[in-house]
Amino acid sequence: MPKPEKYEFFIDISRCIGCQACVQACSECDTHKGVSMIQLDYVDRSVSTQTVPVVCMHCDSPTCAEVCPADAIKRTGDGVVQTARKPRCIACNNCVLACPFGVPKMHNEMNLMMKCDMCYDRTSVGLKPMCASVCPSQALFYGTREEIERLRPSSHPINSFQFGQQMITTKVNMMVPNEPHVRLIDIAMSMDQSPAPQLMSYDPLLANLYEE
Amino acid sequence: MQREVTFAGICGFIATIILAFLILIGSRNLAHFDAALVAYTASILFATFGLTYRYTMWLQRPPTALYWKRGWQVFLNRKYLRKNTINWFRHVTEDMALNRFIFERSRMRGITHFLIMWGCIIAISITFPLVFGWLHFESVPGEIDTYKAYVFGFPTFTFPSGSIFGFLIFHGLVWSALVTLSGVMLAMRRRMREEGAAALQLFVEDFLPLILLFAVCITGLMLTASYTWLKGYAYDFIAILHAIMVIITFLWLPFGKFFHIFQRPAQIGVRFYKYVGEREEPAVCRRCNTPFTSLMHVQDLIITEKQLGYNYEIPGTSVEHYQWICPRCRRAMLALAQGQLWQKQLGGESSVSISYTPSTPSYVNPGMGEGPLGHEDAKNFHP
């Protein structure tokens, strides 16, 4: 079946409310029954309830696949980086440690790395990924560019990330505010940052959540 | 690239020559070589070239090459050699012989793989020595009913040909075919019924190997049926059909899924790497100051990434390289970096600069790979 090209994944971490619906929905998938691929963390639970949901960003040049000594990670023609091939993965942990976004999960007892493959069983036939279909705040959004432009007028999608000197472009888009206009997100700039304590009177992340 | 290809070609050629030489010696200058089996021998020689070529190419990839080297270094490390040797036996038994990690994935998958694997191992350990002339049977002079087995031309044990032992030995391939077939059927059933498998499987990768094994087993069993119950009906035709199936399987060995048989033992090397890594100095995250893997692993990955053309260096900072940040902090930094941009547009404060060490980000879901319901998810999964 032809893949509908117009649908894209948009992620806006700042809208995440930490409800775990994505984690639950992900574990319902047939290809990895009962095991969730979503990485959902508290950024720093001691000062804030801020959570960060991370799905695979599907890099154009996937570091995980290139550092894999067993050639277990493959990228499909339509740019989806698939989970490790079961007969090949030797559970060496290279991908887990090399992924700049911290996506792959290692299951040592099974000798197998498993990671988000953007619900390939669903998206390859035009359905939404499990996580995006249940996300109540639409931090994880799957749809067309027109839809996201209409729904989020004060932000726009980008897909370039800077890690030190390395630039990574991805299939999955990250929503960033229109002002100041940026072409990429420099991740290293948040090295010495911590979430602001919740007592702050005005939290821009909450303000962003109410945008319609 | 050219150099790697030439090297792999030479290795493949040498391996093929060695095998051909062993066939000459083991069959005593082809004295015990069965001329009818020459096509099998040719296909195995080709497969040997193909397998060695691919294996050598694979070993020359930067991550594989480094793991290969380190695997041996940590295994032979004096401090751990004794323990490693003991563990080697444990891993070979648990991982290779018993497939424990596959049983962890699911019991049915474990049983399936176990049956296919052992069926093939039994079949190969019978047929290869026979084809190469390394094993043959002769009747003992004066005792027409007693057989003697010769290995590499050396006489070994004798047994009465009509005994139960003789029956079991002469029908060894029947037993192995039945074991393999049971596994192939279970695998086929899963591939045809399970939606998860249906979403990802490919005909060439996943079905073709099963079809080949099925064809080899069935045509082999047809030979036995022909001479046991049908007075040799269509024996010649079935024999050729069986030979064709076996030869196609051998020729396919270096290309498809079967290559995992040769690739897979690398996981034992990985186990040594992890075992030694856990006992040596850890790598500490340069953001949250928490150990997250072995120092050796981070240093090796930095080398590998450089060889692959990645440039994750962060010059002018105490972090130096992005590899020194733990995966959890990488995810948190993604959130903080995006939050900072929103802060610039909307004002207020989503994050603050700190001079102390931030705490390690913690999982929201209760454990790795578990939904909010925990283990119930995996156990109560609806059909």
What tens digit of pLDDT does each residue of B153-200 get?
A: 888 888 888 889 888 888 999 999 999 999 999 999 999 998 888 888
Find, in chain A, the residue whose alpha carbon is nearest to that of B383.
Answer: A30
Q: How far is B76 from chain A (nearest CA, A)?
A: 19
The residue of A20, A22, A23, A55 whose CB has the most chain B CBs within 10 angstroms, and thus the best one to mutate to test that interface, is A23
B213 found inside a domain: no
What tens digit of pLDDT does each residue of B81-95 get?
A: 999 999 999 999 999
B135 found inside a domain: no
A158 found inside a domain: yes
pLDDT at B368: 46
Contact A41 B364 (CB under 8 A): yes
Which of B270, B302, B297 shows the shortest CA–CA distance to B282? B297
pLDDT at B161: 83
Tokens of B88: 């080697």
B152: left (phi over 0), alpha (psi -120 to 50) or beta: left
Tokens of B198: 């249906």
> Residue B305 CA to chain centroid, in angstroms?
25
Question: How many structural domains are present in chain B?
Answer: 2
**Which among A97, A196, A205 has the least Cβ separation from residue B293?**
A97
What tens digit of pLDDT does each residue of B109-145 get?
A: 999 999 999 999 999 999 888 888 888 888 888 888 8
* DSSP for residue A153: T
What is the C-alpha separation between B64 and A28, in angstroms, rounded? Answer: 34
Q: Is the pLDDT of residue B327 over 90?
A: yes
Contacts of B306 (CB under 8 A, 6+ apart): none
Which amino acid appears at position B335 of this protein? A
Enter the ipTM. 0.92
Question: How many structural domains are present in chain A?
Answer: 1
Q: Which residues from chain A sit within 8 angstroms of residue B354, using beta carbons? A: 192-194
Which of A183, A131, A139, A180 shows the shortest CA–CA distance to B335? A139
Pairing verdict, β B320-321 and B313-314: antiparallel
What is the C-alpha separation between B243 and B236, in angstroms, rounded? Answer: 11
Mean per-residue pLDDT, B264-274: 93
pLDDT band at B151 (very low <50, low <70, confident <90, very high): confident
> Which residues constitute the domain of residue B287?
281-367
What is the C-alpha separation between A113 and A198, in angstroms, rounded? Answer: 36
Contacts of B194 (CB under 8 A, 6+ apart): A30
pLDDT band at B356 (very low <50, low <70, confident <90, very high): confident
Whether B343 and B350 have beta carbons less than 8 Å apart is answered as yes
Tokens of B91: 């891993």
Q: Is the pLDDT of residue B217 over 70?
A: yes
A104 found inside a domain: no
pLDDT at B375: 57
Q: Is A141 helix (H, G, I), strand (E, B) or coil?
A: strand
Record the pTM: 0.88
Contact B350 A195 (CB under 8 A): yes
A75 found inside a domain: no
pLDDT at B241: 95
Domain closes at, from B60, B95, B111: B60
Contact B311 A174 (CB under 8 A): no
Which of B171, B128, B133, B172 shows the shortest CA–CA distance to B152? B133
Which of A162, A200, A50 shows the shortest CA–CA distance to B347? A200
A179 found inside a domain: yes
pLDDT at B5: 94
End-to-end distance of chain A based on CA atoms, in angstroms? Answer: 34
B167 found inside a domain: no
Find, in chain B, the residue whose alpha carbon is nearest to that of A202.
Answer: B348
Whether B188 and B180 have beta carbons less than 8 Å apart is answered as no
pLDDT tens for each residue of chain A, 212 residues long: 455 558 999 999 999 999 989 988 988 887 887 788 899 999 998 888 899 999 999 999 999 999 999 999 999 888 999 999 999 999 999 999 999 999 999 988 889 999 999 998 888 888 999 999 999 999 999 999 999 999 999 999 999 999 999 999 999 999 999 988 888 999 988 888 888 876 555 667 766 766 55
pLDDT band at B218 (very low <50, low <70, confident <90, very high): very high
A139 found inside a domain: yes
**Which among A20, A52, A191 has the least Cβ separation from residue B334?**
A52
The region of weakest confidence among A119-128, B3-12, B213-222, B273-282 is: A119-128
Residue with more model confidence, B249 or B33: B249
Whether A17 and A61 have beta carbons less than 8 Å apart is answered as no
Partner B contacted by A96 (CB < 8 A): yes
> Which residues constitute the domain of residue A21?
8-60+118-209
What tens digit of pLDDT does each residue of B31-41 get?
A: 888 777 888 88
Mean pLDDT, chain B, integer: 90
End-to-end distance of chain B based on CA atoms, in angstroms? Answer: 49
pLDDT band at B99 (very low <50, low <70, confident <90, very high): very high
Q: Which residues from chain A sit within 8 angstroms of residue B315, using beta carbons? A: 164-165
Tokens of B323: 């590899």
- Which residues 10-49 of A have a C-beta within 8 angstroms of B? 12-14, 16, 18, 20, 23-24, 26-27, 29-36, 38-46
CA distances from A81 to A133, A142, B73, B161 (A): 20, 17, 32, 58
Q: Which residues from chain B sit within 8 angstroms of residue A160, using beta carbons? A: none
Question: Residue A29: which CATH number?
Answer: 3.30.70
B22 found inside a domain: yes
Contacts of B236 (CB under 8 A, 6+ apart): none
What is the C-alpha separation between A204 and A201, in angstroms, rounded? Answer: 10
Instruction: Supply angle C-alpha B107, B112, B114, rounded to 5.
Output: 95
